[in-house]
């Protein structure tokens, strides 16, 4: 699996003989080492969920937010190097406000995804900049309804029904594919996302984690916000139950 | 400031045309007072273009975030610009999503800084602002002028309201006014302004802000009385005049 690009991996401005830019692939590895991040597009909105791995018992719950609002109608969940993620979020916020200043309406999610992707790609073009070590799942609700995009460290951005990045992304993607997203509301989606995150969490390798979730949907009046405490607790309970049932088999 | 080059002569330099020199479309007084449950604010819906009462449906009071209400008189485009700044301020505040939100005191302080700093650059936002709100049970009512003078009080007014409405308020305002009494008092002030301020129009809104939120009334007019005997035969005692 690992192909050491001896000599061709020292700079992001060098291609290898087989046409790969190794620095970008290494950046993607940083994303793969972080906690799982999932995004799904339901009938009436988007749900984002993050498996926040807790590195120290002394961390306050609710700190180290991984999901950020980028504008009233959209939010971003970050996987990978947290500091790099903050930079991307700051840039996205600034793009969103400048679009609204100029055009008088909220930035369409597609446009926002393109701008974020361009920015991430920019940092793969110069030898004096390193690529971002984080992937981002961007969800928003605009005139064309709810939309979900994923931006990778290479600057690629695609639109998805369901996306996952981080440690458990393979397992998470399989689970998400099983869901009937077009018939699900966000309320149901929250429970499903919680279940998937609890399921793909590796008890052996990582001890504790905190579940962080947000949504943009009709119920939240098309504003991006943290999932309300009550619903979050319900989801956690349902997820733990589902896990116990699985373990019981 | 920049020295005018000799070649410019009688033409004003480019630098001047980028500063506010005088207001164009203006709103007249805003009057506000604290009452039992919060703040009541009244403003008419007129936008004057010099001496012409050009625009008659201008909303000069807007809610800011969850806890504040802003009313403005003076240049209306500057009011719109201030609303843009505040919109961005509230947006960034909301994006923290941490359970906190900017209250009227904070917004008032922000506005003071903006107005004062613009005044220092000799490029003021030509508006007088009234900022009222309620947060965590505490009522707040303050004013910022175009040069950055700011203060808090139980009742405030801008423009002509300072001269005509505030004396009435000083006499008749008291703590814990009921909603009905507050509205009556404001209407009394607005009626005087309607009679005496030439840029007032008879179409006003009254806004109230309480812990629950902001309500802006539908526009309505005040009843006026012009049936004074002196008006019915005005030329008595001065034949030939009109």
pLDDT digits (tens, 9 = 90+) for A178-192: 999 989 999 999 999
Q: Are the beta carbons of A186 and A44 closer than 8 angstroms?
A: yes
Measured between CA atoms, how close is A176 to chain B, in angstroms?
A: 27
Residue in chain B closest to A73 (alpha carbons) equals B95
Q: What would the mean pLDDT of A130-144 be, rounded to a whole number?
A: 94
Q: Centre a 10 Å sphere on the Cβ of residue A166 and count the other Cβ atoms it contains.
A: 23
CA distance B133 to A13: 56
CA distance B229 to B241: 17
A86 to chain B, any CB pair closer than 8 A? The answer is no
| CA atoms B85, B87, B89, B91: torsion sign | negative
With a cut of 90, say whether residue A56 has pLDDT above it: no
Q: What angle do CA A41, A42, A46 make, to 5 degrees?
A: 50
CA distance B158 to B149: 12
B152 to chain A, any CB pair closer than 8 A? The answer is no
Q: Are the beta carbons of B125 and B115 closer than 8 angstroms?
A: yes
Please list the pLDDT of chain B residue by residue as tens digits (242 residues): 455 455 545 555 555 567 778 899 999 999 999 999 999 999 999 999 999 999 999 999 999 998 999 999 999 999 999 999 999 999 999 998 888 999 999 999 999 999 999 999 999 999 999 999 999 999 999 999 999 999 999 999 999 999 999 999 999 999 999 999 999 999 999 999 999 999 999 999 999 999 999 999 999 999 999 888 878 877 887 888 87
Ranges A119-128, A202-211, B88-97: which has the least confidence: A202-211
Q: For residue A2, what pLDDT is reported?
A: 53
B95 to chain A, any CB pair closer than 8 A? The answer is yes
With a cut of 90, say whether residue A146 has pLDDT above it: yes
Q: Are the beta carbons of A106 and A2 closer than 8 angstroms?
A: no
Measured between CA atoms, how close is B148 to chain A, in angstroms?
A: 25
Instruction: List Cβ neighbours of A190 (8 Å cut-off, separation of 6 or more).
Output: A47, A213, A215, A227, A231, A232, A234, A235
Q: What would the mean pLDDT of A226-248 be, rounded to a whole number?
A: 91
CA distance A121 to A124: 5
State CA B203 to chain mean position distance.
Answer: 15
Tokens 């594919």, located at residue: A177
Could you give the ipTM of this predicted complex? 0.86
A97 to chain B, any CB pair closer than 8 A? The answer is yes
- Residue A7: which pLDDT band, with cuts at 50, 70 and 90? confident
**Which chain B residues are closer than 8 Å to A101 by Cβ?**
84
Q: What angle do CA A48, A49, A52 make, to 5 degrees?
A: 140
Q: Where are the alpha helices (DSSP H) in A158-209?
A: 169-178, 186-200
Q: Which of B84, B92, B97 sits opposite A226 (nearest CB)?
A: B97
Instruction: List Cβ neighbours of B55 (8 Å cut-off, separation of 6 or more).
Output: B25, B46, B47, B48, B49, B76
- The set of catalytic residues of B is 20
Instruction: List Cβ neighbours of A236 (8 Å cut-off, separation of 6 or more).
Output: A194, A198, A211
Q: Are the beta carbons of B128 and B119 closer than 8 angstroms?
A: no
Q: For residue A239, what pLDDT is reported?
A: 93
Backbone angles phi, psi at B207, to 5 degrees: -115, 145
Model pTM score? 0.87
Cβ contact B91–A72 (<8 Å):
yes
A159 to chain B, any CB pair closer than 8 A? The answer is no
Q: For residue A64, what pLDDT is reported?
A: 87
Q: Which of B84, B88, B97 sits opposite A69 (nearest CB)?
A: B97
CA distance B24 to B239: 41
Measured between CA atoms, how close is B95 to chain A, in angstroms?
A: 5
Q: For residue B16, what pLDDT is reported?
A: 59
Q: What would the mean pLDDT of A91-118 be, rounded to a whole number?
A: 95
Q: For residue A28, what pLDDT is reported?
A: 94
Mutation pick from B92, B95, B99 vs chain A, by most beta carbons of A within 10 Å, is B95
A226 to chain B, any CB pair closer than 8 A? The answer is yes
Q: What would the mean pLDDT of A132-136 be, rounded to a whole number?
A: 95
Q: Are the beta carbons of A140 and A147 closer than 8 angstroms?
A: yes
**Which chain B residues are closer than 8 Å to A69 by Cβ?**
94-95, 97
Tokens 């969103």, located at residue: A96
Instruction: List Cβ neighbours of A13 (8 Å cut-off, separation of 6 or more).
Output: A125, A126, A127
Tokens 């009522």, located at residue: B139
Mean pLDDT for chain A?
92
Smallest CA-to-CA distance from A166 within A28, A12, A38, A31 is with A31
**Which chain B residues are closer than 8 Å to A72 by Cβ?**
91, 94
């Amino acid at each position: 699996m690992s192909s050491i690009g001896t000599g061709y991996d020292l700079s992001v401005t060098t291609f290898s003989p087989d046409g790969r830019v190794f620095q970008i692939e290494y950046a993607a590895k940083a994303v793969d080492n972080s906690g799982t991040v999932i995004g799904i597009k339901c009938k009436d909105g988007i749900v984002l969920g993050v498996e926040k791995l807790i590195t120290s018992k002394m961390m306050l719950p609710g700190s180290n937010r991984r999901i950020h609002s980028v504008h009233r109608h959209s939010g971003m969940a970050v996987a990978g190097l947290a500091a790099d993620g903050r930079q991307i979020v700051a840039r996205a916020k600034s793009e969103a406000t400048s679009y609204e200043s100029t055009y008088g309406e909220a930035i369409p999610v597609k446009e926002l995804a393109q701008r974020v992707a361009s920015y991430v790609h920019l940092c793969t073009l110069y030898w004096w900049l390193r690529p971002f070590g984080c992937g981002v799942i961007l969800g928003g609700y605009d005139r064309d309804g709810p939309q979900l995009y994923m931006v990778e460290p290479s600057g690629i951005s695609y639109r998805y029904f369901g996306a996952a990045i981080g440690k458990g992304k393979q397992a998470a993607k399989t689970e998400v594919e099983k869901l009937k997203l077009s018939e699900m509301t966000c309320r149901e989606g929250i429970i499903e996302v919680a279940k998937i995150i609890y399921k793909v969490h590796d008890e052996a390798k990582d001890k504790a984690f905190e579940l962080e979730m947000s949504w943009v949907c009709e119920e939240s009046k098309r504003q991006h916000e943290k999932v309300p405490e009550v619903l979050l607790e319900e989801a956690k309970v349902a997820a733990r139950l589902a896990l116990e049932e699985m373990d019981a088999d | 400031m920049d020295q005018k080059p000799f070649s410019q002569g009688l033409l004003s330099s480019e630098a001047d045309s980028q500063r506010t020199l005088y207001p164009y479309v203006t709103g007249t007084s805003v009057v506000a007072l604290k009452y039992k449950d919060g703040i009541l604010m009244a403003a008419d819906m007129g936008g004057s273009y010099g001496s012409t009462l050009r625009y008659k449906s201008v909303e000069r009071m807007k809610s800011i975030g969850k806890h504040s209400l802003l009313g403005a008189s003076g240049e209306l485009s500057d009011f719109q610009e201030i609303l843009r700044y505040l919109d961005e301020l509230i947006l960034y505040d909301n994006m923290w999503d941490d359970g906190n939100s900017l209250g009227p005191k904070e917004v008032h302080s922000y506005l003071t800084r903006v107005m004062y700093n613009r005044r220092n650059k000799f490029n003021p936002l030509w508006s007088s602002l009234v900022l009222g709100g309620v947060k965590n049970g505490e009522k707040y009512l303050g004013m910022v002028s175009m040069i950055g003078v700011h203060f808090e009080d139980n009742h405030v007014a801008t423009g002509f309201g300072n001269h005509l409405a505030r004396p009435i308020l000083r006499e008749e305002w008291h703590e814990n006014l009921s909603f009905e009494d507050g509205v009556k008092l404001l209407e009394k002030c607005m009626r005087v302004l309607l009679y005496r301020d030439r840029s007032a129009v008879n179409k006003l809104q009254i806004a109230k802000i309480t812990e629950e939120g902001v309500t802006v009334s539908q526009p309505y007019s005040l009843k006026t009385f012009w049936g004074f005997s002196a008006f019915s035969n005005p030329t008595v005692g001065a034949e030939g005049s009109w």
